[in-house]
């Protein structure tokens, strides 16, 4: 069943789905560093990071946060019917466990709230848990807001 603005409220409190696993390799970390100018050694200096607190390089917290957009699109696709969907903001984001290079992560999404915001606009609040394969605790948990159009 494809959810619409009129029926998506039925999903409040339920898990919408889980994205596929994505590997966070050193090339991806380096490209993120290059794009953002965040070249801190713990992310990009492989040799120095071996002697650091994690024994290897780790992904930027904001790199892991940025994965919410693509993973949410993957999870929502085919399950909801809207003309468009815009990132509206975050209510809360907590970085819990560093993502070591070559780890795999995925996003588990739960619908927290749905609120009509006028004709053709529905605010959807989701809880996003970015899990790390083989780790007890997630990389991050974020309450994200999305404005569904149509």
Residue 63, C-beta contacts closer than 8 angstroms, at least 6 positions apart: 24, 28, 29, 32, 99
Angle among Cα 63, 65, 69 to the nearest 5 degrees reads: 105
What's the pLDDT score for residue 55?
98
Summarised one tens digit per residue, pLDDT across range 56-99 is 999 999 999 999 999 998 998 877 777 788 999 999 999 999 99
Summarised one tens digit per residue, pLDDT across range 104-144 is 999 999 999 999 999 989 999 999 999 999 999 999 999 99
Residue 147 burial by Cβ neighbours in a 10 Å radius (0-12, 13-18, 19+): middle
Instruction: Give the CATH number of the domain where residue 95 resides.
Output: 3.10.129.10
What's the pLDDT score for residue 127?
98
142 alpha-carbon distance from chain centroid:
8
Whether residue 49 has pLDDT greater than 90:
yes
User: In degrees rounded to 5, what are phi and psi of residue 71?
Assistant: -70, -35
- Whether 56 is in a domain gets the answer no
- Whether 18 is in a domain gets the answer yes
What's the pLDDT score for residue 150?
81
The domain of 99 spans: 8-23+63-149
- Whether 122 is in a domain gets the answer yes
What's the pLDDT score for residue 138?
98
The encoded tokens of residue 74 equal 């993957």
- Whether 90 is in a domain gets the answer yes
The encoded tokens of residue 124 equal 């959807």
Summarised one tens digit per residue, pLDDT across range 17-40 is 999 999 999 999 999 999 999 999
- Whether 133 is in a domain gets the answer yes
Tell me the three state secondary structure of residue 136: coil
Residue 109, C-beta contacts closer than 8 angstroms, at least 6 positions apart: 15, 16, 17, 18, 19, 71, 72, 75, 76, 126, 127, 128, 129
- Whether 98 is in a domain gets the answer yes
Tally of domains in the chain: 1
Contact 49, 57 (CB under 8 A): yes
- Whether 75 is in a domain gets the answer yes
- Whether 141 is in a domain gets the answer yes
């Amino acid at each position: 069943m494809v959810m619409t603005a009129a029926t998506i409220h039925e999903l409040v409190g339920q898990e919408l789905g889980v994205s596929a696993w994505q590997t966070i390799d050193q090339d991806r970390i380096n490209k993120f560093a290059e794009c953002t100018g965040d070249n801190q050694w713990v992310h990009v200096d492989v040799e120095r990071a071996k002697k650091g607190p994690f024994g290897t390089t780790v992904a930027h917290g904001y790199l892991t946060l940025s994965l919410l957009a693509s993973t949410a699109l993957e999870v929502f696709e085919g399950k909801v019917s809207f003309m468009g969907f815009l990132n509206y903001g975050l209510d809360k984001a907590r970085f819990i466990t560093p993502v070591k290079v070559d780890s795999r992560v995925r996003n588990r999404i739960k619908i927290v709230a749905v609120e009509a915001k006028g004709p053709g606009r529905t605010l959807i609040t989701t809880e996003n848990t970015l899990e790390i394969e083989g780790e007890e605790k997630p990389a991050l948990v974020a309450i994200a807001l999305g404005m569904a159009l149509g």
